Amino acid sequence: MRMYLSSALCLTLTALSACDEVAVANDPEALAELRSQKSCIRAVEKHTGVSGGKLNKTIPIVETQQYVIDLPNTPSWTCYTDASGNASQLIQTRLGTSAG
């Protein structure tokens, strides 16, 4: 029973994360941007071992292929992506901690 509940929860979460891609499916630039953001969130979470990463939309970004990722109760990270949209460089910003 527990295994079925876990599988159902996983399928639900997977479906929800795919919804944002469906919303921009007809816009190749927006889809590439979204995938780059997700790549950065995954890279920061993997590097830090902290889950719950979110794109920071309050800090102005002037460079393309650059994103600021917030994690709960830790300093933010700046992530740069390569031409393919994959996270290629992570830098801890030390701007303080984001609320989780």
- pLDDT tens readout for residues 73-84: 999 999 999 999
Distances (CA, A) of 41 to 2, 3, 32, 69, 71: 29, 27, 14, 6, 9
Q: What is the mean pLDDT of residues 55-68?
A: 90
CATH fit for domain 28-97, picks 3.30.2170, 1.10.10, 3.10.450, 1.10.287? 3.10.450
Q: What is the pLDDT of residue 20?
A: 77
Dump pLDDT digits (tens) for 26-50. Answer: 888 989 999 999 999 999 999 999 9
- Assess contact for 91 and 99: CB atoms under 8 A: no
- pTM score: 0.74
For the chain, the C-alpha Rg in angstroms (whole number) is 15
Q: What is the pLDDT of residue 18?
A: 63
